[in-house]
Chain A
């Protein structure tokens, strides 16, 4: 027997609160995390047979505390020191369950960790996923992932004991990191969903769940709403973006009837709400582009003038060759492929683009539209050589072969 989806949601919702409460009380994030993980495993084993307890967070706290006591007893010498440190790590005082969850998220996205460690720790401590689940989703052996998490927890423990809790300015910067980590989690899962890779799609669901939570807890930050809208609007296309064999289908050729209208509706409403606060940021602008695609009934109906304008603002906000590339695609749709190709020359010399497959891929696409089939095929092949993504390589190579077979 396994848990019902409702019971699983319940577990995942309570896990970070229980962990934060234990960390606050015992001061040892590292061992508290192990204890909560074991309580979750116990729940997954017992709840299906014995039923969901009347007070799920109480049940989890009791089981996790019992386990944590055992773990701490094993290292009593360290315990006193850790309890003293706890006072500086987590100041006492009443805190709501929501504050606890946020605190935990800030902890997992600690700047002392590199992004892969932040992603792994966030998924386990805040997302309540098991090590095995995360390892499968990130295509890593379980031992590799479990070492990464162990190491990350120790680092957080060490760094957290030395530094004071973030002040308001630090919280703002830390929120940027949190949003970026959740964005990475989403990207990690946003993949051609075929065969064994299917599970990676779960990461998108998890990223959306966590961003939704942050947005609920800190509703005053427009960029959080912007990111949530961006993820919802992007994920809405998931069923349409791969073919039956797992091959990528470009936006222009997607069957828009397959787009998830409910997710689009929620994303559009959310975006409208945050844009009204007139504090635009990169996530809101990208969401606005996604919204224009979502609102076009057919590819031909896309409002390219607006998209070009949005990319211009985005490029001014944070100059980035990737944004310029996207702008070139939109400019080509609005004013023809020659205009897009001219814009590409601006980024061709950029060091950050050296060796990247996106530049030849976009150039190939524009050359194909301009009728330069031989040149387009050569650029598609160049892009296929450069990419490290299997689905993209397949798409690009297929595209090149199509042009070779039917030259000009």
Chain B
């Protein structure tokens, strides 16, 4: 069964890593160690055949909004969220059980130092109705 693991952060989180507009809050070693640990976690899941895909998202200042106005799609920059938390990254895993998904999400939460959300992904199979 497939699950999406989502991590959240405020824009300060990107700053911490030196990816935002301001100087990095972490030392170079801390940033390097963080990326190393994340890469090792991804590699482990890729090797076990449980990683479907995963990406970190760019700084929220790059966000665009697309909506339908008068029947036509209109794109605009923003929102530049005041929101405390925005989606920072996601991974889709395919695991044998719900327990395994929770276990991996827990390790992910420890790595990013923040709570993560876990949501089952809909699939195309169905039982006889």
Contacts and interface: CB of A to CB of B under 8 A. Distances in A.
A151 B126 CA distance: 29
A251 B129 contact: yes
Given A115-B96, A144-B51, A389 B46 contact: no
B53 interface: yes
B65 interface: no
Interface of B: 1, 46-53, 94-97, 120-129
25 contacts: A116-B94, A117-B96, A139-B123, A140-B52, A144-B52, A144-B94, A147-B46, A147-B47, A148-B48, A148-B49, A152-B49, A190-B128, A192-B125, A197-B124, A200-B124, A200-B125, A237-B128, A248-B126, A250-B129, A388-B1, A388-B123, A389-B127, A391-B124, A393-B122, A395-B129
Q: Which of A140, A144, A188, A237 has the most CB of B within 10 A?
A: A144
A182 interface: no
A144 B122 CA distance: 18
Secondary structure type dominating chain B contacts: loop
Contact of A117 (B49, B121, B129): B49
Nearest to B129: A250
A338 to B, nearest CB: 22
Contact of A234 (B49, B53, B123, B128): B128
Nearest to A242: B126
Given A140-B94, A145-B49, A190 B129 contact: no
A151 B48 contact: yes
B124 A388 contact: no
B121 A388 contact: yes
B52 A187 contact: no
A251 B125 contact: no
A62 to B, nearest CB: 31
Contacts of A188: 125
Nearest to A251: B128
A83 interface: no
Interface in A166-200: 187-192, 197, 200
A3 B69 CA distance: 52
Contacts of B120: 388
